[in-house]
Amino acid sequence: MVEDLGGGYLGGKRVFVELDAQERDRYGRVLAYLYLEDPRGDFHHGGKRYRQVNLEIVRAGWANPLTIPPNVRYAELYLEASREARAKGLGIWGGAPQGTGSRKGCDPAYPTVCLPPPPPDLDCKDIPYRGFGVLPPDPHRFDRNRDGVGCED
């Protein structure tokens, strides 16, 4: 499906929208890949080249990928892009989380907050943060449902 979007970041640009196995997740959110036409893009459709907006956001370090099965078409690509952005210190991976000072002593599995690695093992009741980003291996097991968000209410 190709649509014209008005206003905002994508205002006036033609985009290609691709769905995966399901159109919506269990919360009713639309699950889609959004593409902008770009002659340097990695993706092809209808004889044109496109860049995947979702992937570019992850590559720039501004998103932590979340895979919701059975919608896993690009899961490995997103994980690799996230690892590269994190290794380069891009976006949210650059520097310390706001208000925490240095990343020294912070477990890298929790990039948006500063939590120490075990021991001791911590539980959600032991920390002041809720709804923070979690990357594998999640040594404290804050992300029980493995959706990339720790200590959800």
pLDDT tens for each residue of 118-153: 888 899 998 888 888 898 899 999 999 988 889 987
Q: Would you say the pTM of this structure is higher than 0.85? A: no
8 vs 59, higher pLDDT = 59
Provide the pLDDT for residue 99. Answer: 45
Ordered structural domains, the chain, with CATH: 1-94 (2.40.50.90), 96-153 (no CATH)
Provide the pLDDT for residue 103. Answer: 66
2 pLDDT higher than 60: no
Average pLDDT, the chain: 82
Distance CA 76, CA 105 (A): 29
